[in-house]
Structure 1
């Protein structure tokens, strides 16, 4: 069976997609042993290293598995959803519950580990949130003003997580950010949260920053939990 030679760019992605189509399309059912690297490379018109990378990508998607001394076998015909995909498809209330677990501990660690540079970044993030809050008309914040406010709000939370100096926590929160931005903007627009108070949530965010700066881990965790629980309650009310 000829898979068809590939165009010169970008070869790994193209090879992965061609092989994926063979698997998801039923050409290679579950349990099938794939042709060897040399055969696949010849069929696709690429080098063995390209095939090897493509097979690694398919293994990461949960479609194939290499068995030492036996070859590479198809183990599924539907790719496994990655974490980012699951987050995009998840209910925002579920995302917030997990966010709370991550961020509350991050705030506690930030209070214990913050450096002088972190403190400066936290004060700057709070100031930028206030600037964004005051950038629109108090009686009628525009959609663009809401977007800037949400961006500044999330940037403040990113600064708190960064101050925890735990790359795993930072990585986890980074995965949340695209979903949070979209859903929080929807929430602000839908409930018109800033019509009466353009700087919605300033008191809670100020308490959070002060607790981290002062090194009070319990107060930092409590302030963040209170803020997120309020937002979660709003989400449940929709």
Structure 2
């Protein structure tokens, strides 16, 4: 099957996608030796260096493997999924359970490590969350996530920060739906505001046990809505 030549840019990404489609689509089954770089370059209308980079990307995805002196062979027709892709395919409740584990520890560390700048940011985020209560589900969720992001940032652990950054976009859509369903965005501050106010106060007071307990209780309540008992 002819591959067809490519548009000028971005060549590596296009070449990778074209070759990926051939492999995933079954045109090159597992065990097949791919055409050489020169042949692929001619078919795709690109240089050999572009083909080389595309093959490297496909190898990183677990689709092909180079064998010294023999060429490049297809080893799988299903690309490996990175962490972000797996998260996007996961159920909101499953992701939320893991997020809860991350944020309980983050709250504990935040209470031990927070700076004055962190506390100022948390107070501002808390005020923004209150102000967003009547602005619609999306605005409310964005403000809520921003407050939690501030707590995670106050833990001063870049790995925790990166994990939260992966979770947040995945959860957003599901949480917007949840907030809309329950009418939380239009409700008075109530328990949700009280819990978040207490969280910020616990972090400010340097009380890691209280901060962790507040986050754990909040997530337990939300998980009961996301995953009710049978």
User: Does the pair score TM above 0.5?
Assistant: yes
Matches within 5 A, 1:127-142: 127-133=127-133, 136=134
Q: Distance in 1 between matches of 2:154 and 2:131?
A: 22
Q: Does 2:47 align with 1:38?
A: no
Summarize the Cα distance change of 1:108–1:66 in structure 2 as closer, same or farther, 3 Å threshold: farther
Q: CA deviation at 1:199?
A: 5.5
Deviations 1:141-185 (A, max 9, x none): xxx522211110010011111111222211111111122211111
Aligned length: 229
| Normalised TM-score (structure 2) | 0.90
Query: Are the structure 2 counterparts of residues 67 and 218 from structure 1 closer, same or farther at C-alpha, using a change threshold of 3 Å?
Result: farther
> Could you tell which deviates more after superposition, 155-164 or 64-73?
64-73
1:140 corresponding residue in structure 2: none
Q: Which residue of 2 aligns with 1:204?
A: 195
1:171 corresponding residue in structure 2: 162
- Find out whether 1:162 has 2:150 as its counterpart: no
Structure 2: distance between partners of 1:114 and 1:69: 56
CA distance in 1, matches of 2:185, 2:15: 50
Match of residue 172 from structure 2: 181
Question: Contact between 2:132 and 2:185, CA under 8 Å: does it hold in 1?
Answer: no
- Verify the 8 A CA contact 1:6 1:46 in the aligned structure 2: yes
Map of 2:89 onto structure 1 = 89
1:6-21 superposed matches below 5 A? 6-21=6-21
- TM-score, normalization by structure 1: 0.87
Tell me the secondary structure at the aligned position of residue 5 of structure 2: coil
Q: Which runs of 5+ in 2 are unaligned?
A: none
SS at match of 1:72: strand
Aligned equivalent of 1:151, options 112, 128, 142: 142
Determine helix, strand or coil for the equivalent of 1:129.
Answer: helix
The alignment status of 1:193 with 2:172, answered yes or no, reads no
Which whole-Å CA distance do the structure 2 matches of 1:195 and 1:10 have between them? 46
Higher alpha-carbon deviation: 226-235 or 27-36: 27-36
Corresponding residue number in structure 2 for 1:141: none
Q: Secondary structure at the match of 1:201?
A: helix
CA contact (8 A) 1:193 1:200 kept: no
Contact preservation (8 Å) 2:111, 2:155: yes
